[in-house]
Amino acid sequence: MTIHRSRTTAVLAVTASALAVTALTGLTAASASPDGHGDRAGDRSKHRAVTVDIESPSNGDDAGVGGAGWFVDLDLEYEGGLAEAGFTGLQLTGPAGHNNVPPFPGTFSTGKDDRLPGLVVLVSTTNATLPGFSGPGTNLANLFNLTGVTDRSDDGSAEIWDTWIVGAPIAGKDVDTVLTVAVVDDLNHNGVYDDAPPVVPDADGDGDVDRHDLEALGLASNVERVHFRINGAPA
Ligand SMILES: [Ca+2]
Ligand SMILES: [Ca+2]
Ligand SMILES: [Ca+2]
């Protein structure tokens, strides 16, 4: 009787392991994005108030000219609408004479965006030498040039498109890199997603700044990632 029971237990344990492996395999398969865009592994089971999509670059792209001229194009959907997004206005901005001027003024620098203050944009090869840049944890959200509201048809929600044409080789030339984007949770509980940090710390101390370090902050959105290459050749 005892032997029979332990055999049954062993069979059950093996079956459970097989199911666990199957479940893990299923998860791995589900993480591959069918459209070649971002990867939302691990986020599918959890409801999020904000949905982040990376429209450009796509996985496997070899983007840019001389390390610059590549785009980061984002589609952000905020269930709670523009107020909850912390959206403070339309934006058309850039360096030098483009910075914070009409008709759609917005500031331009590294760090938290003045127009979408919950957004975090990281590039894994971001330099630590240019003024304002402190390596892969640097939040690049306030370098975005063009911010507009693309859809308000769903009750109370808002869709925002946000675009950056990278003006200098701030993340290297001829390098493989990873773009990671998310919207930080309402950390100060004022009802607004306006709590993006200027720099994301390496919370788990493993030497990089990635999705795990973002998740340690607390997030309102999925984490979207794209693996691509920055082309260093001239046009
Ligand atoms: Ca800005
Ligand atoms: Ca807040
Ligand atoms: Ca880390």
Rounded to an integer, what is the distance from CA 209 to the centroid of its chain?
Answer: 12
Residues 67-81 have pLDDT tens digits of 999 999 999 999 999
Residue 24 lies in a domain: yes
Task: Kindly state the tokens that stand for 83.
Answer: 């107020």
Tell me, what's the pLDDT at 84? 97
pLDDT tens per residue, range 137-180: 999 999 999 999 999 998 899 999 999 999 999 999 999 999 99
In a domain, 84, yes or no: yes
134 located within any domain: yes
Name the band, by pLDDT with cuts 50, 70 and 90, for residue 38: low
In a domain, 2, yes or no: no
Q: What is the mean pLDDT of the chain?
A: 87
| Assigned domain for 235 exists | no
pLDDT for 111 equals: 98
Closest ligand (CA of 86): 2
| 118 Cα–ligand 2 center, Å | 8
The alpha carbon of 75 and the centre of ligand 1 are apart by a number of angstroms equal to 16
- The answer to whether residue 1 is domain-embedded is no
Distance CA(126)–CA(110), nearest Å, equals 11
pLDDT-derived band at 28 (thresholds 50, 70, 90) equals very low
DSSP 120-175: EEEETT--SSSTT--STTB--GGG--EEEEEE--STT-EEEEEEEE--S-TT-SSE
Domain assignment present for residue 93? The answer is yes
Task: State the Cα–Cα distance between residues 110 and 143, nearest whole angstrom.
Answer: 6
pLDDT at 181 exceeding the cut of 70: yes
Quote the number of domains for the chain: 1
Structural domain containing residue 62? 9-230
Ligand nearest to the CA of 162: 1
For the stretch 82-121, pLDDT in tens is: 999 999 999 999 999 999 999 999 999 999 999 999 999 9
What's the CA-to-centroid distance between 113 and ligand 2, angstroms?
14
- The number of the ligand nearest the C-alpha atom of 200 reads 3
| Within a domain: 4 | no
Predicted local confidence at residue 46, as pLDDT: 72
